[in-house]
A = this chain, B = another copy of it.
Amino acid sequence: MSFAVTVDLVMLTVRQGALSVLLIRRAIDPFRGAHALPGGFVHEDEDLDEAASRELAEETGIDSAGHLEQLGSYGTPGRDPRARVVTIAYLALLPHAPTPTAGTDAADAAWLPVSNLPPLAFDHAKILTDGIERARAKLEYSPLATAFCPEEFTIADLRQVYEAVWSAPLDPRNFHRKATSTPGFVIPTGRSTTGDRGRPAQLFTRGPATVLHPPLLRALPPSPPA
Contact = CB atoms under 8 A, between A and B. Distances in A.
Contacts of A215: 213, 215
Contact of A88 (B1, B75, B225): B75
A77 B44 contact: yes
Given A5-B75, A75-B88, A213-B221, 7 more contacts: A1-B44, A48-B76, A73-B73, A141-B141, A187-B224, A211-B221, A213-B220
A184 B73 contact: no
A88 B73 contact: yes
A15 interface: no
11 contacts: A3-B5, A47-B76, A48-B86, A73-B73, A73-B88, A75-B88, A140-B211, A183-B221, A184-B224, A187-B225, A210-B221
A41 interface: yes
Contact of A77 (B45, B214, B221, B222): B45
Q: For A48, A72, A73, A213, which residue has the most chain B Cβ atoms within 10 angstroms? A: A73
Contacts of A171: none
A55 B1 CA distance: 17
A209 to B, nearest CB: 6
What secondary structure prevails in chain A residues at the interface with B? loop
A193 B203 CA distance: 57
Contacts of A28: none
A97 B76 CA distance: 30
B208 A225 contact: yes
A70 interface: yes
Interface in A3-28: 3-5
Given A48-B75, A48-B86, A72-B70, A4 B4 contact: no
Contact of A2 (B2, B77, B183): B2
Contacts of A217: 213
A136 interface: no
A207 B88 CA distance: 34
Contacts of A46: 77
A223 interface: yes
A176 interface: no
